[in-house]
Amino acid sequence: MKHPPGTAPVRAEYLLPVNNVVSVPDDDAAEGTTKPARSDRHSGARDDDDNRDSRSGPTRGKFTKEQKKAQRGANKGRRFGKVRDELDLCWRVANGANCEYGAEQCKFSHDIPAYLAVKQQDIRIPDTTEISDTLSVVPDFTKVAKPHPEHPSIDLNTLCPIFKETGECRYGFKCRFLGGHVQTDASGNLTLVKDEEKKARTAVSSQELNFVGGDVQKQLRSKKYPFPISDAYLREMQQNDAQTNSTSKINSGTVVLAEPEQNMDVDTTASEKPARVPTSAVEELIENRIGGSLLASTSDTPDVPVRFAEKKRLHWSGKTYLAPLTTVGNLPFRQLCVKYGADITCGEMGLANSFLAGSKEEWSLVRRHPSEKIFGVQVAGNKPSTLVPTAEVIAKEFAGNIDFVDLNCGCPIDLVFKSGSGSALLDTPGKLGKILIGMNKALGDIPVTVKLRTGVKDGKNTAHKTMPKAVEWGTSCITVSDD
């Protein structure tokens, strides 16, 4: 075949016969027009004149406020087709159940054979072995289809991804992969297939953990949630700060008070043996200080603070840690990473203020999938008065379902950094120490980990100074961000 000058023909081995080309939806045609489409919200797919307001007078022929709002935005001229069944089948009948309205009163059809007669062809997801690497277009899978003898729309060789994963398809006869979970019984009728073993396994493995009830969120929003450990620690911290401030004021003053003179003639033998105070007076003094009897105070209670040596150990040697990723590391993403070998996972960064405000979106970040073997929660904040109560709520509501709590000291986002959270905590080691000590007390046996950066400013690394102090403050693990 002779081609005109300047033509580059396609080589013969890359040419495909026309009958093997599978038609695909033309999305370019749908996006080809840029003219805004007329709103058909009230009148359906009518012409432009019918879409206009039918009011009389000066306002006749003008668009309403809702119609003008519907025209705003880009690509309003796109028209994508929506596939609908020619015969609406009742959802209960489609799932193999009985309809409470009956065939006569239900407004949907109960005739399954009639529905299958007009149902569209099943979709087939090809196996990787069926895809050839020598062709540049989608191959024709109609040659490998196995249609049902009585219902040609059913492809018995197709696989339903939902049924393959859960053992049951909730779409029933309406499923476009119906051939993957249907069979013919002894009487010749089509019945849906269910894998009871896979259903039981899915019911256990797909149930998410760490849900916060509405009553807890209501208490947090109304500031009525009890924080006994946090309140005691914050009061103690305030007293220590006040005592430190008063001592510093005395030291900074110009007046120096001399110590009282000591009597050097006192008999040392008598001072070595102080006078014995009556037992009743000692007990009375102790009761006044502790607010109760000595016998009651010696009884073992669950409020005894957990020592650092009693916290859970983090055995992470040789394991893969999926770092917390904001806006990326959600539960489905972590579930996929666990399937590909991630041993340790951590939720997205949550703000302590939002946790204490009872934010439903923030508390959704602590949800855990049963497949996550070692799971932690990451929190961010700028002061002990928010981070310590948040740690107490997490320990109280999710005891046993949280393996560690990570404090974010490495987030460089301006919104977080300017509020004093994230990597800004590295510039205030005193505050960071109070936060870590308080979180350790509030979390009980749950260990605290820290994520930090090498430094905040360029050329000035501070991680080598912060890490030893963090260990002294009770940190069980430290991770350093490399970006």
Residues serving a catalytic function are 411
Rounded CA separation 212/217 (Å): 7
DSSP labels, 107-162: SSB--HHHHHHHPPPPP----GGGS-SS-SS---GGGS--B-SS-TT-BTT---HH
Tracing tokens 């007990």 back to the chain, one arrives at 283
Cα–Cα nearest to 446, from 387, 375, 381, 382 = 375
Tracing tokens 């580059």 back to the chain, one arrives at 8
Rounded CA separation 467/448 (Å): 13
Total residues found in the chain within this entry: 483
Q: Are 402 and 394 in contact (CB under 8 A)?
A: yes
Report the DSSP pairing between strands 190-192 and 182-184: antiparallel
Cα–Cα nearest to 170, from 89, 91, 261, 60 = 91
Lookup: tokens for 250? 């005395």
Rounded CA separation 237/255 (Å): 28
DSSP classification of residue 164: H
Lookup: tokens for 351? 């703000």
Q: To the nearest 10°, report the CA torsion of 436, 442, 443, 445.
A: 100
Rounded CA separation 340/384 (Å): 38
Rounded to a whole number of angstroms, the distance between the first and last alpha carbons of the chain is 59
Amino acid at 183: Q
Lookup: tokens for 141? 């899978």
Residue 157's alpha-carbon distances to 27, 116, 160, 254, 427, in angstroms, are 29, 17, 10, 94, 63
Tracing tokens 């000590």 back to the chain, one arrives at 437
Greatest alpha-carbon pair distance for the chain in Å reads 129
CB neighbourhood size of 193 (10 A) = 13
DSSP classification of residue 58: G
Mention every residue, 6+ apart, whose C-beta is less than 8 A from residue 244: none
Lookup: tokens for 315? 């055995």
Report the DSSP pairing between strands 404-409 and 374-380: parallel
Q: Are 342 and 320 in contact (CB under 8 A)?
A: yes
